[in-house]
A = this chain, B = another copy of it.
């Protein structure tokens, strides 16, 4: 039986035959529902009986040392490895098998039980597309280049420090999109329109904006007490940038209090429904 007292020490193992990134993300989501701190131990690349035995022994030792059931999130595909891991006395949360079984029943066909099918290897087209997207995005970060803009999937615009660079890289890395990003700067506001180079690509433009208070905070971390970071200047730049985006009919969203993942997903949904 568990009591409130012994809970903080609960250890969570994440055991995977691959990188364990999916299992880790899922474990984080699920555990965040409980108001406790967990210590997480990550055991990736468990793809042989030998390695799964080591993992099992480690979990069993923890069980005996603490007297509590360790929590095990696992993404193992090969049934023999699953069976071996389950010999450890623990709360087993088996992320793949749990969903493979009902799918097998519904689809009426057998699963392959092969490791690593979800990985893109370097030979795959999808992988090459992703690497090309990362290279394109790096070359087109912060208005560095106007070359091949016709190849961009998205062009982000916004004032300096509104979140363009991390969002661009995330879109490239996660979704294989070629993303260019351009800062909107005081010269643009004086001219009163978007940079000329972007005019032919209006349908690819997407704006990021941010609350002035938050922008001043972020900029102050970079250049303390500068004109650049002053709240009135941030207010001016944002009001000009939003005005320009409204005038030119450019979709935009606020990055304030959003994570990179949320901004990226919102941009994607928006582009798809365009």
Docked CA distance A7–B109 (Å): 10
User: Contact string, A67-110, partner B, CB cutoff 8 A, digits 1/0?
Assistant: 00101010101000000000000010101101110111011110
Docked CA distance A41–B91 (Å): 33
Interface flag for A60 (CB, 8 Å): no
Size category of the binding interface on chain A:
35 or more
Docked CA distance A262–B260 (Å): 22
Interface flag for A49 (CB, 8 Å): no
Known: A33-B117, A34-B103. Is A122-B22 also a contact (CB below 8 A)? no
Question: In the complex, what residues of B have CB within 8 A of residue A10's CB?
Answer: 107
Interface flag for A169 (CB, 8 Å): yes
Interface flag for A214 (CB, 8 Å): yes
* Interface positions of A from 22 to 51, Cβ below 8 Å from B: 22, 25-26, 28-36, 42, 44-45
Interface flag for A21 (CB, 8 Å): yes
Question: In the complex, what residues of B have CB within 8 A of residue A169's CB?
Answer: 134, 169, 173
Question: In the complex, what residues of B have CB within 8 A of residue A30's CB?
Answer: 96, 99-100, 103
Check A19–B166 contact: CB distance below 8 A.
no
Docked CA distance A138–B168 (Å): 13
Question: In the complex, what residues of B have CB within 8 A of residue A131's CB?
Answer: 166
> Which of B21, B93, B117, B258 has a CB less than 8 Å from the CB of A25?
B21
Interface flag for A255 (CB, 8 Å): yes
| Of A109, A119, A123, A130, most B-chain CB atoms within 10 Å | A119
Docked CA distance A39–B93 (Å): 27
Question: In the complex, what residues of B have CB within 8 A of residue A269's CB?
Answer: 42, 44-45
Docked CA distance A120–B261 (Å): 9
Given contacts A1-B108, A30-B103, A34-B109, 10 further A-B contacts (CB under 8 A): A4-B109, A19-B261, A21-B174, A29-B95, A33-B96, A36-B109, A45-B265, A93-B102, A138-B138, A138-B141
Check A2–B106 contact: CB distance below 8 A.
yes
Check A18–B102 contact: CB distance below 8 A.
no
Question: In the complex, what residues of B have CB within 8 A of residue A141's CB?
Answer: 138
Interface flag for A113 (CB, 8 Å): yes
Check B95–A26 contact: CB distance below 8 A.
yes
User: Contact string, A187-209, partner B, CB cutoff 8 A, digits 1/0?
Assistant: 00000000000000000000000
